[in-house]
């Protein structure tokens, strides 16, 4: 696995061209998006997409998100693009909104998890967009973690999970600006149906949007975002006291809170609201593992805006 640094402000042509060549040759490329790093392959190449599932250890019935460079790319993977989908694409793309639509028949069944629908988005990251334009093909890309692990928000996380897998290249553009995954919306009907909460908030989608219970996105059925040590959610402001108490009991405790951890407790992240928790949560969970901590305490944030999606991820991390 080769790691290449790319300046997000000026994505170097050589690195992008090498990554695009690898994708066109049926190889795998990990690349940054505004949400998390993705593990990409040519969405039309059954063999390449199978390699993505194998590298992640991903269940075959969990479909991938196809990434395209622009609205025109949408028509290369989706049939019957609804007026709602067009409106949402115009409002939110490039950006962290994934639209589920009827799939064009030529897309391989591995890409769509054997569903008749396809999930598609235009990512809002200069490196991702440069890669998609250079490769000139739809790129199927799940988050670039081992299945069941927290999504990678840095290139180092990708290497930690996939170092021994046949990944041609990792484009390293530093930490992802948002830090949690895109919102997945079924856009086939009259109103958006939220299948997975994410970086585009329910408020932004408007009053007509509603969430389904189960079955939502196939991926939300699986235990996700799971670090190897237990995670406990505490009320805002109560993290330090609870952490100190557990530390007195002899536990090695990590804290994600609005203030630094007390003596004897590891500060994993200091957060000043939902957006900061979104950006730092997965990194904090991975750091806790590296330090071999016994428990991680995370202070809850308000469940408005991106806070709803972050708390959703956090609850999944605590569900044993
Ligand atoms: O922000 C993101 O969405 C990142 C970056 C790399 O774009 N990708 C990502 O992919 O989080 P992944 O594979 O980790 O999650 C994709 C989610 C899963 O929950 C999957 O079940 C759902 O999208 N999905 C994919 N195709 C679908 C479909 N046809 N119908 C319903 N849900 C679908
Ligand atoms: Mg994932």
pLDDT digit string, tens, across residues 46-104: 999 999 999 999 999 999 999 999 999 999 999 999 999 999 999 999 999 999 999 99
Peptide bond into 94 cis (omega under 30): yes
Kind plus residue range of the DSSP H or E element containing 99:
strand 97-102
Which has more pLDDT, 224 or 294? 294
Provide CB contacts within 8 A for 298, sequence distance 6+.
231, 232, 233, 234, 239, 256, 257, 277, 281, 284, 314
pLDDT computed for residue 155 by the predictor: 98
In this structure, the residues whose C-beta lies within 6 A of any atom of ligand 1 are 33, 35-36, 38, 62-65, 96, 98, 100, 112, 115, 117-119, 123, 141-143, 181-182, 184, 195-196, 217-220
| pLDDT number for residue 257 | 98
C-alpha 308/C-alpha 183 separation (Å) is 11
The tokens describing 61, both together, are: 């019935």
Distance 290 CA to ligand 1 centre (A): 27
Report the C-alpha dihedral over residues 210, 211, 216, 217, rounded to 10 degrees: 80
For ligand 1, pick from 141, 149, 217, 220 the residue to mutate: most ligand atoms within 8 Å of CB. 217
Ligand 1 center to 244 CA (angstroms) = 38
Ligand nearest to the CA of 195: 1
Residue nearest to atom 22 of ligand 1 (CA): 217
Of 181, 158, 179, 153, the closest CA to residue 170 belongs to: 158
Predicted pLDDT of residue 223: 58
Interval 237-269: pLDDT, tens: 999 999 999 999 999 999 999 999 999 999 999
Rounded distance between C-alpha atoms, residue 85 and residue 207, angstroms: 16
Torsion of CA 241, 245, 250, 252, to 10 degrees: -30
pLDDT digits (tens, 9 = 90+) for 151-184: 999 999 999 999 999 999 999 999 999 999 999 9
- Asked if pLDDT for residue 38 goes beyond 80, the answer is yes
β 210-211/38-42 pair status: unpaired
Q: How many CB atoms lie under 10 A from the CB of residue 158?
A: 29
| The token pair that represents 49 in the structure block | 């997409």
- To test the ligand 1 pocket, which listed residue (184, 222, 223) has its Cβ within 8 A of the most ligand atoms? 184
- Helix (H) / strand (E) element for 245: namely helix 239-248
Contacts of 241 (CB under 8 A, 6+ apart): none
Query: Which ligand approaches the C-alpha of residue 101 most closely?
Result: 1
The pLDDT of residue 217 = 67
Structure tokens at 37: 């790093």
Reported as a single tens digit per residue, the pLDDT across 88-144 is 999 999 999 999 999 999 999 999 999 999 999 999 999 999 999 999 999 999 999
Ligand nearest to the CA of 103: 1
Residue 218: its pLDDT value, please? 72
Probe ligand 1: pick from 37, 92, 218, 309, max atoms within 8 Å of CB? 218
Integer Cα distance of 185 and 97 in angstroms: 7
SS3 121: strand
CA dist., res. 166 & res. 22, Å (int): 12
């Amino acid at each position: 696995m080769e790691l290449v640094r790319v300046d997000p402000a000026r994505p170097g042509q050589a690195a992008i061209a090498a990554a695009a060549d690898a994708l066109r040759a049926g190889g795998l490329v990990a690349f940054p998006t505004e949400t998390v790093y993705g593990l990409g392959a040519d969405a039309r190449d059954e063999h390449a997409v199978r390699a993505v599932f194998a590298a992640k250890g991903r269940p075959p019935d969990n479909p991938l998100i196809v990434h395209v460079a622009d609205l025109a790319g949408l028509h290369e993977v989706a049939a019957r693009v609804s007026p709602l989908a067009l409106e949402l694409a115009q409002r939110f793309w490039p950006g962290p909104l994934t639209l589920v639509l009827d799939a064009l028949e030529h897309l391989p069944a591995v890409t769509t998890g054997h569903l008749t629908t396809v999930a598609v988005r235009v990512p809002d990251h200069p490196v991702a967009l440069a890669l998609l334009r250079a490769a000139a093909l739809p790129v199927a890309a799940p988050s670039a973690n081992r299945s069941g692990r927290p999504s990678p928000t840095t290139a180092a996380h990708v290497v930690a999970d996939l170092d021994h897998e046949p990944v041609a290249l990792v484009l390293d553009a530093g930490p992802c600006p948002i830090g949690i995954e895109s919102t997945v919306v079924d856009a086939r009907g009259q109103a958006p149906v939220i299948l997975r909460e994410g970086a585009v908030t329910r408020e932004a989608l408007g009053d007509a949007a509603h969430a389904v219970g189960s079955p939502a996105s196939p991926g939300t059925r699986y235990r996700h975002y799971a670090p190897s040590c237990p995670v406990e959610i505490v009320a805002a402001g109560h993290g330090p006291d609870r952490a100190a108490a557990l530390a007195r009991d002899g536990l090695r405790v990590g804290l994600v809170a609005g203030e630094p951890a007390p003596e004897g407790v590891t500060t994993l992240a200091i957060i000043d609201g939902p957006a900061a928790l979104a950006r730092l949560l997965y990194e904090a969970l991975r750091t806790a593992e590296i330090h071999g901590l016994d428990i991680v305490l995370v202070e809850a944030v308000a469940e408005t805006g991106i806070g709803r999606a972050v708390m959703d991820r956090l609850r999944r991390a605590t569900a044993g």
